[in-house]
Amino acid sequence: MDKKSVIDVPVTLRSDSKLRPAAPQVDPPTASTSELETLSADSAVLADACNIQGDCRDQFLSRFLMLIHENDFEFGYSNAADRYVRESLVLYGTFAREWISELFVQNYCNPFVLGAILRVIAHFEYAQMYPQGMTMAAAGVAHDDISVKECGVRCFENWGHIDGRMLLMRFEFSEAWLNEYRIQVINDLERAVTNATTCPQD
Amino acid sequence: MIERTLYYQAGFFSPDAYLEATPEIIRRLLEAFDYKDFIPTTVPEIVIGSPQQGLMAVGPFSPKMRINVTTPNQEWTLAFQPDRVSLKKMEVIGGAIGEPEDFQNDAIEMFARLEKAKVFSFSGSRLTYNTRGLLPEMKDEQLTKVNTRILRLPSFYQEHPPCEWATRNVAHFDLKFGPKTECCNVITDINRVQGRSSIDGGEAKLVDRIETRFEINTHQDRQEIRFCHNDISTFLESAIKICNKLSHQSEKVLYG
């Protein structure tokens, strides 16, 4: 059989986004269970949200990818890609994080792009990138490529959040130096939390 | 009969299957799915009517981030949706989607791993299996002939044969699986569809084919919690047998 891709089908929103009412979920009126029903856009604001996904997503993805290829990435040094993501977070909020996550999955076989994405998100606060940042860093640590693994660990180190300890504990690397680095980060995160809980409050 | 299977999907309806992306959930899922290169991803879901402040806010919407576990090429996706956990295998470039029985074996393994991960109760109210495929290409006259064979149309459409059409049949059937017998919806969709498709990642071509969709799910009127993860394997085995039978019988009807 020929190797072929799936036929295009109309979708309401990109990135598998779903719109659903806050009311408790009820089964669709039909017998079918194959798809969750989506709501049609019935207000201007809802349409705006859809447009953010449709119009701005492509623009963000192509610009961010271009900046990734045009810039040098180093931990601790800001570049144009960082600034672009910062601006986009203000403009598009959670959608921007989701687009970064989408780019991450699309480029899962490209360690260069993954490393650059992880370096960018490491420069933000943990909460600013939550939960997509934490999810990408965990996927990075689980990656086969050693440089991507290292970038994932470094994200958790930079964020300094205790969540990172729990996630890093589940991995064991065959590369001794990387494993030592992982353990060091785990210990640092633990110490940071211990210090925070034992220091007197202002 | 089916030349291309586009996907297989199995679902387990459970009120607490909806999982948000949290470090603990991600840790457990990474442990459970440390094979097939599964990675965690987030899926934004916008809940209308409960505004949220701060970074997650988008106008009056309150995005929630549910979690999926997926392979990077999207061949496999395990989605934790509001009322169900859904496992889907899609046809992808360079992948072999395999037979329904292959999917059944993989699905049983994955649901078993999920059960061990203890990310939700795995007590459920409904079970479902469905698949979508495409028949080989046919000439326009053949497509019209299939239409006249299975549909009795108004004279207008007899004079002007439709270029798109859809049929759906839903029957209720007592499906036996393991020690259980459940009233199920048995659904067959046979449609003439048009769309775009690319072969080997090349230029997208227009396609005009007959698609078949087969679905079996436990009836929507029974919502009490009565299934556990062990029921998935026996349900899938019985459901796939019925779907295969339906596929062969449909072939006879379509090709005459």
Give the pLDDT confidence of A62-118 residue by residue, as tens digits.
999 999 999 888 777 889 999 999 999 998 888 899 999 999 999 999 999 999 999
Tell me the residue type at A152: G
What residues of chain A lie within 8 A of the CB of B25, using their CB? none
Closest residue of chain A to B38, computed from CA coordinates: A139
Which chain B residues are closer than 8 Å to A46 by Cβ? 48
Test mutation, B55, B86, B125, chain A, max A CBs within 10 A: B55
CA B212 to chain A, closest CA, distance in angstroms equals: 13
The answer to whether position A139 is within a domain reads yes
Nearest-Cα residue of chain A relative to residue B44: A17
Domain annotation covers residue A80: yes
Does some domain include residue A121? yes
Residue A98 located in a structural domain: yes
d(CA B154, CA B158): 6
Mean pLDDT score of chain B: 89
Residue B53 neighbours by CB distance under 10 Å: 7
With a cut of 50, list the residues of chain A below it in pLDDT.
Answer: 1-29, 36-47, 202
Phi, psi of A168 (to 5 degrees): -70, -30
Q: Give yes or no for residue B50 having a pLDDT over 70.
A: no
Contacting residues of B for A109, CB less than 8 Å apart: 72
pLDDT at position A20 is 43
A128 or B1, greater pLDDT: A128
Determine the pLDDT at residue B13. 96
Q: Give me the pLDDT at residue A128, please.
A: 93
Whether the pTM exceeds 0.90: the reply is: no
Provide the domain limits for residue A80: 48-195
Number of structural domains (chain A) is 1
Does A4 reside within a domain? no
- Contact between chains at A131 and B22 (C-beta distance less than 8 A): yes
pLDDT band at B61 (very low <50, low <70, confident <90, very high): low
pLDDT tens-digit readout, B157-192: 999 999 999 999 999 999 999 999 999 999 999 999
